[in-house]
Chains A and B, each alone.
Chain A
């Protein structure tokens, strides 16, 4: 199977690999997939509480090259976006950007899930309602 140049580039030089402090109220963590399926992605975001801008993003992924590339790309894309802007990223955008073949579409779905899970975690920590998308309470715990 031949990989696209972009997948190879993300695999060779993954962006934003690492770990953020998951106990911080500014950090949202999404852990999706399952080891027995051969894919686990952990995507973390650090959100500015004032502006809701995602100031940092980190990932670690157990999975094939396409899964690594999808999550690496996801961290690049969410950085600098507001939380609600980041939610508009869809798996089809990832498929297009990385030229993923049909058999690898599940990798892009997982990356989208990881973004949503990370944002969901951050919202939960900060009591942000799903609909409003704005902070209704200051996180303190």
Chain B
């Protein structure tokens, strides 16, 4: 337990202050389990205490502006930033000069896509992405469509992967609507599926098209190498890798090819003119420290998370019928498990496990009342999407927590299936697809 006893970090204070009733507080908890229990590490991660330690001096004593060129405070800040730049570059196989600091991955994605679209508009006006991208990519592409760019959204197969032949066919190399950019995420935030990035990059380079990847969920979790993976531009974020919120980076390739990006924020020409604004020094130091820890611990960490995730999966599958794993499990992030508990609605399931933080693809949990567009893109029926739970295992989860979560899920699913007319009908042999439902 010595290396995996981060359980106290699993107890994130404040989760139970939302007025949600925490049940079963009377029963003693197993060792290593603290409530509320955090298992939603794709949404965000707790700061690693080692990262916090690295950041602390840069809030008070070492508060200088990294752009102050003529005194010690500035030099100190600048040198800390440059160390961080190197740490980040090393994790993804880049050079320090290729790292641009941003406020996070949403800004990185905006800067990459809009910046390339603007810079290369003489070359063409076609962009290719795919349907399960994060909204930071999809909404950016939609904005560009309004501005006159043409965007192709590639479909995914039932397991969440894009078809490389679809990509080849979509790339336009002649005429006025030439493809200038392909943007495909490295790994999906909901279903954990890892796209064939290396092959995508190879196709892009063969056709002379730039390749951007939103690698927020992949960096620090699985090996990412911008050279071997043929990546030209890459977005990453601090708070997904046990670093601070509000800081991210964009890798912009300087050689073979040299990528140019039109800045989207003006005011001082920081970050080689690509992103103005005083650097968030403590945040950047934290991002660097977080990358270095990932670099050193990724292999062991991935192995441990895969074991926990598979244990969780087997435990749930052996106790419950009508479960379904969503997304390809071969090309998959270590800590991710997206599972549907068919005939049980996701929000009611979350309500029964309200001392555990996981996510649901159900409509009711979001303001939009639309179930997860990612799960829908896999061709799953809406009812499967409504029944889905995303487990996000992370650095500070332990086996006792996995047991606790699995047992709780099993109890609540069994209880809700007793309540479910659909489960009863299916057990009686009724084909639900033959019923004329009164949609509302």
Q: Which of B18, B371, B423 has a CB less than 8 Å from the CB of A2?
A: B18
B364 pairs with A64, CB closer than 8 A: yes
Chain A residue, CB-CB nearest to B435: A31
B383 in the interface (beta carbon within 8 A): yes
Asked if A38 and B421 make an inter-chain contact with CB atoms under 8 angstroms apart, the answer reads no
Write out the residue numbers on chain B whose beta carbons fall within 8 Å of the beta carbon of A32.
438, 440
- Chain A contact-residue range equals 35 or more
Residues of A within 8 A of B348 (CB): 11, 63-65, 67-68
- Check if A20 is an interface residue, CB within 8 A of chain B: no
User: Is A135 on the interface with B (CB-CB < 8 A)?
Assistant: no
A-side interface mostly: mixed
Contact with B along A31-46 (1 / 0, CB 8 A): 1111111111110000
Check if B347 sits within 8 Å of A36, measured CB to CB.
no
- Report the count of interface residues on B (CB-CB < 8 A): 37
Distance of B333 from chain A, by nearest CB (Å): 27
Interface flag for A61 (CB, 8 Å): yes
Give the distance in Å from the alpha carbon of A33 to the alpha carbon of B421 in the complex: 11
Total of A-B residue pairs, C-beta within 8 Å: 100
Partner of A62, one of B21, B369, B371, B421: B421
Q: Is the CB of B382 within 8 A of A103?
A: no
Q: Are A60 and B424 in contact (CB under 8 A)?
A: yes
Of chain A, the residue at the smallest CB distance from B343 is: A62
User: Known interface pairs A2-B20, A60-B420, A64-B362. Does A34 touch B351 (Cβ–Cβ under 8 Å)?
Assistant: no
Residues of B within 8 A of A42 (CB): 421
Q: A63-B345, A64-B347, A65-B347 are in contact. Are A38 and B418 (CB under 8 A)?
A: no
Q: Is the CB of B437 within 8 A of A34?
A: yes
Chain A contacts of B439 at CB under 8 A? Answer: 34, 36-37
Chain A hits for B345, CB < 8 A: 38-39, 62-64, 67
Bound-state Cα–Cα, A42 to B424, Å: 11
Task: Give CA–CA (A20, B364) in the complex, Å.
Answer: 29
Q: Once the chains bind, are A35 and B381 in contact (CB under 8 Å)?
A: yes
A129 on the B face (CB < 8 A) = no
**Interface membership of B386, Cβ < 8 A:** yes
CB of B371 within 8 A of CB of A109, answer no
Instruction: Give the chain B neighbours of A109 by CB distance below 8 A.
Output: 440
With A8-B21, A34-B437, A34-B439 as known contacts, state yes or no: A68 contacts B419, CB within 8 Å: yes
Q: Is A106 an interface residue (CB 8 A)?
A: yes
The verdict on B15 contacting chain A, using a C-beta distance below 8 Å, is no
* CB contact under 8 A between A41 and B363, given known A35-B381, A62-B344: no
A77 located at the interface, meaning its Cβ lies under 8 Å from any Cβ of chain B in the complex: no
**20 A-B contacts (beta carbon < 8 Å):** A11-B352, A12-B23, A19-B424, A31-B435, A35-B382, A35-B383, A35-B422, A36-B383, A36-B437, A36-B439, A37-B440, A38-B346, A38-B363, A38-B382, A40-B421, A42-B421, A62-B421, A64-B364, A106-B440, A113-B440
